[in-house]
Amino acid sequence: MIKSISLLTRKAGLTHEQFVRHWLEIHAPLAHAVPGIRRYVQSHIVEERRRPDIPATDVEIDGIAELWYDDRESMAAALATPAAKALHADGALFIGRIKTYTVEEKQIVPTSP
């Protein structure tokens, strides 16, 4: 499995609540049409936690998107589809800035049964 993680910042002029509403109610259903997505999770930011011993970065984000694919080739094929292009076109309506990483997960603490 391979995963894409995107840090999302809302467009100027949108409130956090408007951003989250569009992302969840309009954008998320479009992901169902993209072939090859194995899992899609939206993490909506509710607060920032800071640590006194480590300085925070200057990144302001409104949410984190995680998408899983079988492998990098499946991800590339999925992103080339008309459904993915529609998903990205919708994202341009409410996402002001984005930073995306392709990652491999290393499970440290297993999920509970």
Would you state the pLDDT for residue 49? 87
Q: What is the per-residue pLDDT across 69-92, written as a single tens digit (0 to 9) for each? A: 999 999 999 999 999 999 999 999
- Please report, as a single letter, which amino acid is at residue 74: S
pTM of whole model > 0.85? yes
Provide the pLDDT for residue 56: 85
Spatial strand order in the sheet of 95-103: 39-44, 63-69, 2-10, 95-103
The CATH class for the domain spanning 2-48+58-103 reads alpha beta
